[in-house]
Amino acid sequence: MCDVFGFLRPCRHHLGPELHARWSAHLCGLCLTLRDEAGQLARATTHVDALLVSVLAEAQGVGGGREAGPCPLRGMRSAPVVTGDGARLAASTALLLAADRVADHVDDRDGAFASRPVAAVGDRVAAGWARAGSATAAGIGFDPAALLAVPARQREVESGIAILDRVTVPTEQAVGAALAHTAVLAGRPGNVAPLDEAGRLLGRLAHLLDAVADRSADAASGRWNPLEATDTSTPDALARCRETVVGIGAALRRVTLDPGPARRLAHQLLVHESGRAVTRAQQEPPIAPWDPSRPTDEPDSPEEDADEPGPRRLGPERGLLAGCAAAAGLCCTGQLCCSEEFADPWTGQPRQGRCADCVDCTSCSCDCCDCCSSCGDGDCCCSCDCGS
């Protein structure tokens, strides 16, 4: 199943001060909404991909805001955050996607979930998130069926004849449904179809990029990979990804959005950051994001020098139970999502937060896509095509 986490990675260099401040308001708003809807542990499901739902809702006039109290991740400063039905829809999407992902890892007994106690905990967490996400969805009139059905439908697809266009359909439908419902919340029926299309394309892109990134690891472990199963080469998959980014831009141009920073932020995330995700597909990040399905004894790099004393560590190595306790602490404090760098709860090795990385800023050219920062309140459909 596709892990739709960390797919979009905006940073200060690309967004600029105004859009980065708005992005932060959505990020904090989603995190706090998750806490209110499902408890502290649910804040670990905060990620930029679900944040897009909140941004699109605001760009159509949905939602509000408030001043949030001090938070350790903001240096104990208060800050404005986005609230309302858009944030609740984003929280529901994040919870349901996270529940799908954890349940999938439990079923496959990946990494730490090969242990029965960890699998049992994961099963309970996934079930709780699914209930909370469904309850939140019901409160805003969103049918969560498409998201809840992703694991079962994905296994059904994988057990049949492997055709790449069919493999990505469950993810496409789930993301399309979430984005389309922002138009329902806004009372803009004309936006439903193009947002559904943009969401389906975004889901396809996420699935293909996940398959490209995991191809080697899946081959080594014997796991099912859509590219291997359909005999699709990596260059062909990336070419499909580039075509998909162009399609996302075309769909977004048919969506009526209100002038303002939310509109520009939606364009940046959907078009330019999607394009950058394709560019990053063949690049290894300097620090791996933490994934509980990753074996704890796996080295950070296969090319580590045998003469070195060992991988760099930020914290101590821990056993199963102590690592679980440390992981819970990371989740409840939000470090798993938002910290620039933190210690892996089991290995002590450095890991990146899901939403705070800026992987490609050292070599990026930020002048091309800066056209969006000067679009004013126009359509913000840049002609530079640097995101495609």
- My answer on whether 278 and 318 are in the same domain is no
> What is the C-alpha separation between 297 and 37, in angstroms, rounded?
35
Residue 299: inside a domain: no
pLDDT digits (tens, 9 = 90+) for 70-99: 887 777 788 899 999 999 999 999 999 888
- From 10, 133, 136, 25, select the one nearest 71 (Cα to Cα): 25
| Confidence check: pLDDT of 11 > 90 | no
Residue 302 pLDDT = 44
Residue 310 pLDDT = 53
Say which CATH number the domain at 187 has: 1.10.600.10
State the pLDDT confidence band at 377, using cuts at 50, 70 and 90: very low
> What is the C-alpha separation between 198 and 252, in angstroms, rounded?
7
Residue 247: inside a domain: yes
- My answer on whether 137 and 218 are in the same domain is yes
- My answer on whether 84 and 205 are in the same domain is yes
Residue 311 pLDDT = 58
- My answer on whether 247 and 329 are in the same domain is no
pTM for this one?
Answer: 0.75
DSSP letters, 88-134, are: HHHHHHHHHHHHHHHHHHHHHT-GGGGSHHHHHHHHHHHHHHHHHHH
- Domain containing 211 equals 17-283
Q: Which amino acid is at 12?
A: R
Beta pairing class for 77-83 and 64-71: antiparallel
- My answer on whether 195 and 323 are in the same domain is no
The top-scoring range by mean pLDDT among 106-120, 203-217, 238-252, 345-359 is 238-252
- My answer on whether 349 and 278 are in the same domain is no
pLDDT digits (tens, 9 = 90+) for 195-204: 999 999 999 9
Percent above pLDDT 70 for the chain: 76
Asked whether 318 and 30 are in contact (CB, 8 A), the reply is no
- Total count of domains within the chain: 2
Residue range 247-252: average pLDDT?
96
- My answer on whether 32 and 145 are in the same domain is yes
Residue 112: inside a domain: yes
